Amino acid sequence: QKEVEQDPGPLSVPEGAIVSLNCTYSNSAFQYFMWYRQYSRKGPELLMYTYSSGNKEDGRFTAQVDKSSKYISLFIRDSQPSDSATYLCAMSGGNQFYFGTGTSLTVIP
């Protein structure tokens, strides 16, 4: 079983839609949860960073962590064509750090 599971998509939505991206994990030691955005032929860029359970909001982006279910989500409101990218979840704890495989998102104008 992989440490982090993420649906690779691809996901295609119309402009203005709400997007939900998700990851599950198996390691209870994970305490820090990150979302990275990666444009084609670029390195990943940190979007959101949360510690333990709860929600965090930054503009159109909301990250949710449910440690009891070992499930994290990233919501994008009012999605824009510029949001088209691959979204990677990442988790760390106990000196371990893992990325998900990424979900490819396309926002259609």
Partner 1 sequence: EAGVVQSPRYKIIEKKQPVAFWCNPISGHNTLYWYLQNLGQGPELLIRYENEEAVDDSQLPKDRFSAERLKGVDSTLKIQPAELGDSAVYLCASSFSYNEQFFGPGTRLTVL
Binding to partner 1, residues 33-92 (CB under 8 A): 34, 36, 41-46, 49, 88, 90, 92
Taking the complex as a whole, the smallest distance from the CB of residue 40 to partner 1 amounts, in Å, to 11
Size of the site for partner 1 (CB under 8 A): 23
DSSP strands (E only) in the chain:
4-6, 11-14, 19-25, 32-38, 45-51, 54-58, 61-66, 71-76, 85-93, 96-99, 103-108
Among 57, 80, 97, 108, binds partner 1 (CB under 8 A): 97
Per CB under 8 A, which region of 13-21, 28-36, 53-61, 72-80 contacts partner 1? Answer: 28-36
- As given in the structure block, the two tokens for residue 103 are 């979900």
Q: How far apart are CA 26 and CA 71, in angstroms?
A: 9
Provide, rounded to whole angstroms, the least separation between the CB of residue 93 and partner 1. 9
8 binds partner 1 (CB under 8 A): yes
Instruction: Answer left, alpha or beta for residue 16, where phi above 0 means left and psi between -120 and 50 means alpha.
Output: left
The number of beta carbons lying within 10 Å of the beta carbon of residue 31 is 15
**94 lies in the site for partner 1, by CB under 8 A:** no
| Local structure of 60: helix, strand or coil | coil
- Contacts with partner 1 by CB under 8 A lie at 4, 6, 8, 32, 34, 36, 41-46, 49, 88, 90, 92, 95, 97-102
